C-alpha cells in the first residue's frame, strides 16, 4: 500500500518558476505509476507577490504550509538594484521566516564533481562532500539594530546567536552522516581564533560528540583557510559542519568548483519531523538570466532527489540522480547549450 505525499510548491521569483517547472516534471514522472503518489499545491510567495499584494508570508499561509509533507522551493528575491523592494525584506520575512518557523536546523548542501563536468580548478581531484550548515542561528537571526542611523556616529550590530542546543544538534547530525559515509571524516569550519565565544562552543561540542563516534575522524579549519583548501585541495573534504553564515559562503564556492551553482542542491531539514522540510537549489532568483530559459534546472531537480530521500523514497531518489548524471554526460556531446526546458525534458526522457 503506497502513500500519498502532500507537497507544497513555491516557485518564487526570477528563474525560480523556470527551474521549478522542470523539477515538478521530474517529480511527477518519477512518482507516476509507482505506488507512492505526490499531490502538489502551489503557493505564490516572493518579491513579485509582495509587489502585487504587500504580503511576505502571512500566518495563514505558514499554517497551511505546515500541513504538507515537504516543500519544494525555487528561489526568491529581487534584482539587487530594484529599488521598489526593500533589500532583505523577502529574504528575511519570507525565506528565513520559513526556515526558522519550520525549524530547518540542518541545511544540507552536497557537492559532487560529476563525470563530464568541467571544474574551473586545474586539478580538482575527486570532489564529493556535504556541507551541514546550521540553519536556524548565527548572525541570521535578526538580533541587531542600528542607532544614530544615517549619521556619522551610526552603530549597527548583527549579533551571532549560537546556542549549546542548536550547535549540538547540528554537530550530531554531521557526525551521524559521516558515520554512514565511506571516508567518515568531519571538518569543523569556524573562526575560533577571533570569534572566541561562539568558536569555542562549536569546538567543545565537536570534541564531545566526536568521542561518541570513534570510527569518525575529525579536524578543524578556520574559514579563511577553508576557502584556500576548497580551491587547492577540495577532495580532502567529506563532511563539513559549520555555522549559518560560513555555510552560506562556502556552499556558493563549493558550487563554483563543481561546475556551477546551477548544479547545487540543498535541503532545509527538520530532522525531528515536527514540521515539513524544504528542498531548494542553493542559487537565487538570478535576475540577470530570468525569463530567458538559460537557467540550469539541475540544482532544482537534484533538490527533488534530496526530497525523495527525506520522504523515504530512496529508489526514486537514486533514479533521479542517475538520470541527472546521464544527462550531464550527454551534454558534453552538444555544441549548443540546452535550454532550461531541454535539460528537464532530457532528464525526464532518461527516467523512462
Ligand atoms: N534561496 C533563495 O531563494 C536565494 C538564494 C540566493 C540568493 N537569493 C536572492 O536572489 C537574488 C539574486 O541573488 P544573487 O545574484 O546574489 O545570486 P544568484 O544565485 O541568483 O545568482 C548568482 C549568479 O549565478 C547565476 N545562476 C544562478 N542560478 C543559476 C542557474 N540555475 N543556472 C545558471 N546560472 C545561474 C546567475 O545568473 C548569477 O550570475 C537576490 O535577491 C538574493 O537575495 C535567493
Ligand atoms: C537569500 C539568502 C537568505 C540565502 C541564505 O543566505 O541562506 C541564500 O543565500 C541561500 O544560500 O540559500
Ligand atoms: Mg547563499
Q: Give 158-196 pLDDT, tens digit per residue.
A: 999 999 999 999 999 999 999 999 999 999 999 999 999
Is there a binding annotation on residue 336?
no
Any ligand 2 atom below 6 A from CB of 282: yes
Between strands 106-112 and 265-269, the pairing is antiparallel
pLDDT confidence bin for 157, thresholds 50/70/90: very high
345 closest CA partner among 293, 307, 306, 308:
293
pLDDT beyond 90 at 62: yes
Residues acting as catalytic residues: 140, 191, 224, 248, 252
Region 67-96: mean pLDDT is 96
- Ion ligand 3 neighbours (CB, 5 A) are 248
Any ligand 1 atom below 6 A from CB of 286: yes
pLDDT at position 145, please?
A: 97
Any ligand 1 atom below 6 A from CB of 78: yes
Name the closest ligand to CA 133.
2
Domains, the chain: 1-110+264-352 (3.40.718.10), 119-258 (3.40.718.10)
Percent of residues, the chain, with pLDDT higher than 90: 95
Are 140 and 247 in contact, with CB atoms under 8 Å apart?
no
Grid cell locating 295: 537557467
Q: What is the 3-state secondary structure (H, E, C) of the chain?
A: CCCEEEEEEEEECCCHHHHHHHHHHHHHHHHCCCCCEEEEEECCCCHHHHHHHCCCCCHHHHHHHHCCCEEEEEECCCCCCCCCCCCCHHHHHHHHHHHHHCCCCEEEEEEECCCCCCCCCCCCCCCEEEEEEECCCEHHHCCEEEECCCCCCCEEEECCECCHHHHHHHHHHHHHHHHCCCCCEEEEEECCCCCHHHHHHHHHHHHHHHCCCCCCEEEEEEHHHHHHHHHHCHHHCCEEEECHHHHHHHHHHHHHHCCCHHHCEEEEECCCCCCCEEEEECCCCCCCCCCCCCCCCHHHHHHHHHHHHHCCCHHHHHHHHHHHHHHHHHHCCCCCCCCHHHHHHHHHHHHC
Any ligand 1 atom below 6 A from CB of 300: no
Is there a binding annotation on residue 116?
no
Please give the number of the atom of ligand 2 that sits closest to the Cα of 244: 7
Residue of the CA atom closest to atom 6 of ligand 2? 248
pLDDT at position 2, please?
A: 85
Is there a binding annotation on residue 235?
no
Grid cell locating 228: 584556500
Instruction: Tell me the per-residue pLDDT of 35-59, one tens digit each, with 9 for 90 and over.
Output: 899 999 999 999 999 999 999 999 9
Amino acid at each position: 500500500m503506497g502513500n500519498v505525499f502532500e507537497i507544497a510548491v513555491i516557485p518564487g521569483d526570477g528563474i525560480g518558476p523556470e527551474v521549478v517547472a522542470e523539477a515538478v516534471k521530474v517529480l511527477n514522472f518519477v512518482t507516476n505509476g509507482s505506488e507512492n503518489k505526490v499531490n502538489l499545491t502551489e503557493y505564490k510567495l516572493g518579491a513579485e507577490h509582495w509587489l502585487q499584494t504587500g504580503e511576505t508570508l502571512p500566518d495563514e499561509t505558514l499554517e497551511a504550509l505546515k500541513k504538507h509533507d515537504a516543500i519544494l522551493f525555487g528561489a526568491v528575491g529581487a534584482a539587487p538594484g530594484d529599488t521598489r523592494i526593500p533589500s532583505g525584506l523577502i529574504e528575511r520575512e519570507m525565506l528565513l521566516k520559513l526556515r526558522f518557523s519550520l525549524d530547518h536546523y540542518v541545511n544540507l548542501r552536497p557537492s559532487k564533481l560529476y563525470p563530464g563536468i568541467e571544474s574551473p580548478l586545474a586539478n580538482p581531484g575527486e570532489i564529493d562532500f556535504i556541507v551541514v550548515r546550521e540553519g536556524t542561528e548565527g548572525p541570521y537571526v535578526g538580533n541587531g539594530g542600528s542607532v544614530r542611523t544615517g549619521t556619522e556616529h551610526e552603530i549597527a550590530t548583527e549579533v551571532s546567536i549560537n546556542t549549546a542546543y542548536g550547535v549540538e544538534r547540528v554537530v550530531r547530525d554531521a557526525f551521524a552522516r559521516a558515520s554512514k559515509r565511506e571516508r567518515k571524516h568531519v571538518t569543523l569550519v569556524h573562526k575560533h581564533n577571533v570569534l572566541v565565544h561562539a568558536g569555542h562552543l562549536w569546538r567543545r561540542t565537536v570534541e564531545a560528540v566526536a568521542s561518541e563516534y570513534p570510527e569518525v575522524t575529525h579536524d578543524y579549519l578556520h574559514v579563511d583557510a577553508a576557502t584556500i583548501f576548497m580551491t587547492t585541495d577540495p577532495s580532502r573534504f567529506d563532511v563539513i559542519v559549520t555555522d549559518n553564515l560560513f555555510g552560506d559562503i562556502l556552499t556558493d564556492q563549493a558550487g563554483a568548483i563543481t561546475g556551477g551553482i546551477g548544479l547545487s542542491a540543498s535541503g532545509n531539514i527538520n530532522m525531528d519531523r515536527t514540521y515539513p522540510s524544504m528542498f531548494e537549489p542553493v542559487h537565487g532568483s538570478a535576475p540577470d538570466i530570468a525569463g530567458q530559459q538559460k537557467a540550469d534546472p539541475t540544482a532544482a531537480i537534484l533538490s527533488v532527489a534530496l526530497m525523495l530521500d527525506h520522504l523515504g523514497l530512496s529508489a526514486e531518489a537514486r533514479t533521479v540522480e542517475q538520470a541527472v548524471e546521464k544527462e550531464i554526460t550527454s551534454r558534453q556531446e552538444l555544441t549548443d547549450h540546452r535550454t532550461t526546458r531541454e535539460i528537464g525534458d532530457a532528464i525526464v526522457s532518461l527516467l523512462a
